Amino acid sequence: MYRIEGLAKLAGRERYVDDLPLQDFLWGMTVRSPVPRGRIRAIRFAKDVDWREFVVVDHHDIPGPNEVLLIERDQPVLAAQYVRHMHEPVLLVAHPSRDAVRRAVRAIEVVVDPEEPVLDYRKPPRPDQVQYGSDNVFKRITIAKGDVERAFAGAAVVVGGVYETGAQEHVYLETQGMIARLEGDTVVVVGSMQCPYYVLTALMHALKRDEHRVRVVQAPTGGGFGGKEEYPSHVALHASLLALKARRTVKIVYDRGEDLAATTKRHPACIRHRTGLAQDGRLLAQDIEIVLDGGAYVTLSPVVLSRAAIHGAGPYRCDHVRIQGRVMLTNAVPYGAFRGFGAPQVQFAVERHMDVIARRLNMDPVEVRRINLLRDGDTTATGQVIRDGVDRIRLMERAVELCGYHAKRLDHARHNASDATTRRGMGIATSYHGSGFTGAGEVRLKSRVHVAGLAGGRVEVRTASVEMGQGTLTVFTRLAADRLGLAREDVLIAEPDTGRVPDSGPTVASRTVMVVGKLVERACDDLRRQLELGRETRGDTLRDAIRAWHREHRGAELIGEAVYKKPPGIEWDDTNYRGDAYAAFGWGAHAAEVEVDLRTGNMKVLDFVAVLDVGTVLAETLARGQVQGGVVQGIGWALMEECKFLGGAMANNQLTNYAIPTSADVPPIRVVFVETPFEHGPQGAKGLGELPVNGTAPAVLNAIAAATGTSPGNIPLTPEVMLDLLERGAGTAVVG
């Protein structure tokens, strides 16, 4: 199946925010805090600038509460008296000339009396550094299963480890951008985003308007990866405030430096493992501590911690598990959503730890996993019974077969014994990822989808799910066409516009295909029901019935509707974190082959295999691309993408010194899908988007550990760090 929007993108016809034609508009920009923490004493405007030419907005111009409405209301739209991180927005400036507004921003000085910031999330704050609650903890979560300490008392072996993961920048192709204009008394925002209704809610709150006086439209979006989940609300609010004051259209588009410096990143994490084992390698007890850096404001940190904690024990069976997680305030630029949403951090830790265990027990890492991988009938750390029919051991064995694991290990042993300058190794990692929102999240969202029968006989799918490069338009078109027996040309996908489409939830959390796609099918069924047609009625008969309905009901809309209902048997206790965390899990096994240069510390991934079970694969080319892209993103996080911080802000905020993988860094990536249909997903499909990231980094580092005999515990593992490990002959992961 061809990609619906592919030709427009390939030919350069797709119009992103900065391409949209505008007349008589202003450019907007942001004046930001120069320090990570302190009280604003003064704002000084340079005297050689004619400020009458500019529109200037501060916190006094906000009609409603000075709050960006999300999980909590702690983050201001514009700082008033106090700043909590570098680059925090303080003022907004607009002018018809982009160059003029850039010069104006540089001509405004925000004078701050600095206070001592918190810059290390791993250390408890001093009393004068506490800025949230009594201890700077945004959120705590505990998951408990069985009797952990009693199990440790009976363990033959106890293995400990500490693992750290760094921040990661999204590097979406298109930077953050929004256009705000007035249509009568309605504020209309058009921009690059993943969640139109998040933006709508934030605008209604801070602008003190109801849904009839605010409208949000998603423009074609050049990538998101979570970076356009919550952050676009900030840009939309800023553009809207300037437009309201100027009574003119305002465009804000970040350049790459501002985008890298001021926007959210993946949460840094420190994860401690203490594991009790039988002599044969069976897991008896897991004691896991997860600490995340949340940055200066809560943003989405509680749900990132939630997913991290639920996935923290890995895809393994263990009767005695304790997971304690917390996310800490620091005076860093706030962290937020990123592909995987907390799961990649903890699965890096558990998968590296499984290899550390294997070395301690003198066992093959594959064998340790084979002994412990979840089987149907086993329970996860939250007590969820796994009974989806997936053979997780077979998935791993398939990856082992495809990469030639056993033969290559022998080849590598010979190579490493004879070559003076390079070392080669193989690494394995298994992974899983829950599809959709955690626990009762999908029930609370009450997602809704419409499928409209149009007067000409075609249908239009109306959802708030966005296309951002992952294939939503293509998959929804296929689902509706297949369900109704129509040609794909007879299915239109509505532009995500809160004035036209219902709230089907955000485009996040590997939920779009499984959750919203199923609603598309059900809405198609409802459309057919309203036409009093059976499931066997298809094609021309259906189109004729739609046309006839419109002739009879002139001026009315023919709408099939579906509202989310949880699958039967799903129960979740959000207070105690017990029960069915997700309606379904995707499962994966990754294998990496690497070569390490002992002279330079450079590491190259030579080959990569990904075997995944995500239910029915609806569009294999798109799905394969999703996996390959996720693997590349994981390789970058593992080996290259180092965020260097100064005062809690990214200091290397240019693509010249924040390195991401190029084609020269990417190995052949072989992708295999094993399909076990999920009965409550559309055509049997589950979520896919985030799973490929989870196992990539640990597979790569496990291969490096095997090649070099070191035990790296932190990522990114740069050549400089690798050389240090080689000199010391060991890593920092194993502590007991």
Stated pTM of the model: 0.97
Strand partners, 275: 159, 286
Q: Write out 306-366 in H/E/C secondary structure.
A: HHHHHHCCCCECCCCEEEEEEEEECCCCCCCCCCCCCHHHHHHHHHHHHHHHHHHHCCCHH
Contact yes or no for 300/71 (Cβ under 8 A): yes
The rounded distance, in Å, linking the Cα atoms of 538 and 689 is 32
Fill in the amino acid letter for 40. Answer: I
Distances (CA, A) of 49 to 101, 103, 654, 716: 11, 9, 29, 45
Q: Are the C-beta atoms of residues 676 and 615 closer than 8 Å to each other?
A: yes
Instruction: Return the closest-CA partner of residue 339 out of 209, 507, 479.
Output: 507
729 CB-contact burial (10 Å; exposed 0-12 / middle 13-18 / buried 19+):
exposed
The C-alpha atoms of residue 581 and residue 575 are separated, in whole angstroms, by: 12
Report the DSSP pairing between strands 38-45 and 82-83. Answer: antiparallel
CA distance linking residue 260 with residue 265, whole number of Å? 9
Round to whole Å and give the CA distance between 77 and 514: 34
Is 374 within 8 Å of 565 (Cβ atoms)?
no
The total of other beta-carbon atoms located within 10 Å of residue 467's CB is: 22
User: Using CA atoms, how far apart are residues 463 and 719, in angstroms rounded to an integer?
Assistant: 46
CA angle 200, 203, 209 (to 5 degrees): 100
The pLDDT value recorded for residue 1 is 65
3-state SS assignment for residue 557: coil
On the question of a cis peptide bond just before residue 716, with omega within 30 degrees of 0, the verdict is yes
- pLDDT for 2: 80
Domains along the sequence of the chain with CATH: 6-115+170-262 (3.90.1170.50), 269-437+577-728 (3.30.365.10), 447-563 (3.30.365.10)
83 touches 90 (CB < 8 A): yes
Distance CA 142, CA 594 (A): 37
| pLDDT on residue 535 | 81
Say how far apart CA 477 and CA 517 lie, in whole Å. 10
Spatial distance between the Cα atoms of 52 and 100, rounded to a whole number of angstroms: 13
- Number of DSSP helices (H) and strands (E) in the chain, helices first: 19, 28
Measured torsion, CA atoms of residues 123, 127, 130, 132, in degrees rounded to the nearest 10: 110
Instruction: For 352-404, give the DSSP string.
Output: HHHHHHHHHHT--HHHHHHHHB--TT-B-TT-PBP-S---HHHHHHHHHHHHT
Residue 546 structure tokens: 């739609």
Dist CA 293 CA 314 (whole Å): 21
Name 631's Cβ contacts closer than 8 Å, sequence gap at least 6: 590, 608, 610, 669, 692, 693, 696
Q: Would you call 524 helix, strand, or coil by DSSP?
A: helix
Positive or negative, the CA dihedral 133, 137, 141, 144 is negative
In the numeric block, the tokens 């993108």 are attached to 9
User: Rounded to whole angstroms, how far apart are CA atoms 487 and 507?
Assistant: 26
Q: Is 136 helix (H, G, I), strand (E, B) or coil?
A: coil
**3-class DSSP state for residue 641?**
coil
How large is the C-alpha radius of gyration of the chain?
26
pLDDT value of position 735: 31
Within 10 angstroms of residue 276's Cβ, the number of other Cβ atoms is 24
Tell me how crowded residue 709 is: count the other CB atoms within 10 A of its CB: 15
Length in residues, the chain: 736
Among residues 695, 724, 341, which one has the least CA distance to residue 508?
A: 341
DSSP codes of every residue in 412-471? HHHHHHH-SSEEEEEEEEEEEEE-SSSTTHHHHHT-EEEEEEPTTS-EEEE-S---SSS-
- CA dist., res. 98 & res. 634, Å (int): 36
Average pLDDT for runs of 10 along the chain of length 736: 88 96 97 98 98 98 98 98 98 98 98 98 97 98 98 98 98 98 98 98 98 97 98 99 98 98 98 98 98 98 98 98 98 98 98 98 98 98 98 98 98 97 98 96 96 98 97 97 96 98 98 98 97 87 96 95 95 96 98 98 98 97 97 98 98 97 96 98 98 98 98 98 89 36
Burial class (CB in 10 A: 0-12, 13-18, 19+), 594: buried
